[in-house]
């Protein structure tokens, strides 16, 4: 958990000189000599506001080798060199302020480690082309310091990526400078605030996955797949201004999220109702084979038993089957939550639990998201949900969206605004067969979350329908296939 916090805080900037075609190099060297730019580079990457701290520079092996040997390593800066030839290069680098790493991620981990995090003020990425490309995609890239050189008649074989103006905006532009007959200017780009905010929330999820994959404990599990896991983590998402935390680094099945939640609210335990709408997320757990393996041989296929929906609306009632009318039986926890929020919002007992030990043996699957508590402050409704078993690859993105939607619906019914959704994770795990797909996801840049508009005319929790929801601005990366462990 400490790693994930420090990783979040490890922001960095790119420093580059490029012509208007974004060319930056030729044959391992710089195609121009600009003393003013070299002075700017040295001042920017060396200066610290705290004299007890130093800055770090991250560079590729070719950039390191392009620096004249008498200037290596760059003085008054911690030099971090990326190379796939660590062993071969190690014998030629024997400096206390130069460190070799294999990947950009490893460089950030090194700088955010206890050894360096308290002695580093700023981090600058200084080349070359492939390092720039990887760094620019990361949400931690906060600024780009570009020296724009008016020299397009020179051939280059190394290029800086084009700057995406939907992500970065120009914040300052200097006056023109001239050295050796070459005109140039300094331009500072910064990541747009909306991008930073969206990234910070989704990066919680990505960084937790990264931490689990790299540092998690190997464990067996019920499915026989095997996991890497950590215990006791937390994420927080803001629901204000209609922002809806539907993760963007892979497509989340929004219609499935909404239809399942409405199905829970109805108190249904029949998976076929979802299947008929093309939502097949419960099909495997309701199959004939799965139920028979649990010893529920008398149960009809698709009858899931007293799962979430039953516990929310009929806690304590005797479960018979999916056809029985349970009206008036058991405790309607969901309605109790709404009544308390309307009549006694300061109550510290506004809780809904799906964990009923006396019914666990009758369920197709014991609840993973076990309990949620609601809290009102300054007219805003927040929800904290505790999840005992957290499938980070498949389940958790779905669970986040589901409880955020539940909070939105309850807030509307109770005449409240929305505050935060806090996700408390017990056994947070990555299945071994999800590791490679998740590595693909970890390379993606989070995009802004969508907004969700809900029909304001609906004021009864049982009256919401799919047509009452309008999701706007959801532009995720492509779907990443992952197999569900059953």
pLDDT tens for 92-116 read 676 778 999 999 989 998 998 888 8
Q: Which residues have a Cβ under 8 Å from the Cβ of 403 and sit 6 or more positions away?
A: 369, 372, 383, 385, 421, 423
**Lowest mean per-residue pLDDT among 4-13, 294-303, 330-339, 345-354:** 4-13
Distance between CA 221 and CA 291 in Å, rounded? 19
Q: What was the pLDDT predicted at 483?
A: 83
Distance between CA 474 and CA 472 in Å, rounded? 6
Is 96 within 8 Å of 78 (Cβ atoms)? no
Summarised one tens digit per residue, pLDDT across range 444-468 is 888 889 999 999 999 999 999 999 9
CB count within 10 Å of CB 122 equals: 20
In this model, does residue 6 exceed pLDDT 70?
no
Sign, CA torsion 17/22/23/24: positive
Distance between CA 374 and CA 347 in Å, rounded? 9
CA atoms within 13 A of residue 131's CA, in its CB half-sphere: 32
Dihedral pair phi/psi, residue 55, rounded to 5°: -95, 165
Check residues 153 and 217 and name the one with the higher pLDDT: 217
Dihedral pair phi/psi, residue 352, rounded to 5°: -130, 125
Return the percentage of the chain with pLDDT > 90, whole number. 76
Q: What was the pLDDT predicted at 325?
A: 96
The one catalytic residue among 141, 156, 368, 404: 368
| Conformational region of residue 219, where left means phi above 0, alpha means psi within -120 to 50, and beta covers everything else | beta
From residue 451, how far is each of 10, 262, 340 by CA, in Å?
28, 19, 28
Radius of gyration of the chain (CA): 27
Whole-structure pTM over 0.85, yes or no? Answer: no
In this model, does residue 2 exceed pLDDT 60?
no
Check residues 197 and 118 and name the one with the higher pLDDT: 118
Is 315 within 8 Å of 356 (Cβ atoms)? yes
Q: What was the pLDDT predicted at 1?
A: 27
3-state DSSP assignment of residue 424: strand
Summarised one tens digit per residue, pLDDT across range 368-379 is 999 999 999 999
The 227-238 sheet, strands edge to edge: 217-219, 227-238, 417-431, 380-391, 369-377, 351-353
Summarised one tens digit per residue, pLDDT across range 33-45 is 999 999 999 999 9
Run of H or E including 86:
helix 86-90
Residue 117's pLDDT band, with cuts at 50, 70 and 90, is: confident
Reading the block at residue 136, the tokens are 């620019």
Q: Which residues have a Cβ under 8 Å from the Cβ of 131 and sit 6 or more positions away?
A: 58, 59, 60, 63, 82, 104, 125
Domains for the chain: give ranges and CATH numbers.
2-191 (3.40.430.10), 195-472 (3.30.572.10)
Q: How many residues does the chain have?
A: 486
Distance between CA 126 and CA 31 in Å, rounded? 16
User: DSSP string spanning 197-220?
Assistant: HHHHHHHHHHHHHHHHHHHPEEE-
156 is a catalytic site residue: no
């Amino acid at each position: 958990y400490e790693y994930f916090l420090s990783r979040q805080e490890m922001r960095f900037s790119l420093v580059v000189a490029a012509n208007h075609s974004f060319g930056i190099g030729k044959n391992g060297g710089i195609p121009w000599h600009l003393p003013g730019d070299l002075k700017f580079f040295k001042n920017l990457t060396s200066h610290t506001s705290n004299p007890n701290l130093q800055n770090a520079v991250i560079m590729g092996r070719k950039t390191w080798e392009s620096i004249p040997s008498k200037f290596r390593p760059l003085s008054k800066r911690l030099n971090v060199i990326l190379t796939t030839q660590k062993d071969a290069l190690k014998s030629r680098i024997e400096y206390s302020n130069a460190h070799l790493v294999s990947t950009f991620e490893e460089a950030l981990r090194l700088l955010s480690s206890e050894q360096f995090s308290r002695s580093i003020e700023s981090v600058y990425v200084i080349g070359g082309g492939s390092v720039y490309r990887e760094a620019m995609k990361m949400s931690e890239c906060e600024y780009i310091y570009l020296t724009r050189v008016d020299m397009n008649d020179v051939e280059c074989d190394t290029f800086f990526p084009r700057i995406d103006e939907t992500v970065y905006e120009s914040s300052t532009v200097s006056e023109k400078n001239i050295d050796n007959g070459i005109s140039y200017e300094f331009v500072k780009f910064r990541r747009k605030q909306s991008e930073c905010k969206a990234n910070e929330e989704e990066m919680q999820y990505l960084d937790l996955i990264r931490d689990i994959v790299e540092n998690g404990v190997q464990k067996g599990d019920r499915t026989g797949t095997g996991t890497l896991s950590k215990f006791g983590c937390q994420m927080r998402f803001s629901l204000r201004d209609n922002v809806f935390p539907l993760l963007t680094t892979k497509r989340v099945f929004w219609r499935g999220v909404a239809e399942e939640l409405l199905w829970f609210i109805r108190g249904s335990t029949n998976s076929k109702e979802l299947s008929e709408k093309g939502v097949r997320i419960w099909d495997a757990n309701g199959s004939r084979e799965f139920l028979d393996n649990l010893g529920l041989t008398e149960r009809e296929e698709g009858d899931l038993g007293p799962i979430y929906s039953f516990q929310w609306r009929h806690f304590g009632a005797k479960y018979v089957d999916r056809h029985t009318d349970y009206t008036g039986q058991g405790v309607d926890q969901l309605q109790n939550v709404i009544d308390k929020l309307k009549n006694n919002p300061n109550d510290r007992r506004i809780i809904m639990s799906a964990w009923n030990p006396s019914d666990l043996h009758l369920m197709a699957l014991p609840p993973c998201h076990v309990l949620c508590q609601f809290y009102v402050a300054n007219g805003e409704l927040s929800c904290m949900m505790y999840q005992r078993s957290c499938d980070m690859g498949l389940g958790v993105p779905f669970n986040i969206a589901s409880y955020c939607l539940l909070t939105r619906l309850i807030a509307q019914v109770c005449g409240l605004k929305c505050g935060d959704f806090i996700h408390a994770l017990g056994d947070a795990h990555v299945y071994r067969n999800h590791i490679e797909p998740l590595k693909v996801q970890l390379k993606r840049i989070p995009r802004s979350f969508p907004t969700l508009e809900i029909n304001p005319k609906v004021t009864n929790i049982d009256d919401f329908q799919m047509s009452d929801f309008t999701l706007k601005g959801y532009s995720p990366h492509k779907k990443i296939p992952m197999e569900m462990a059953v």
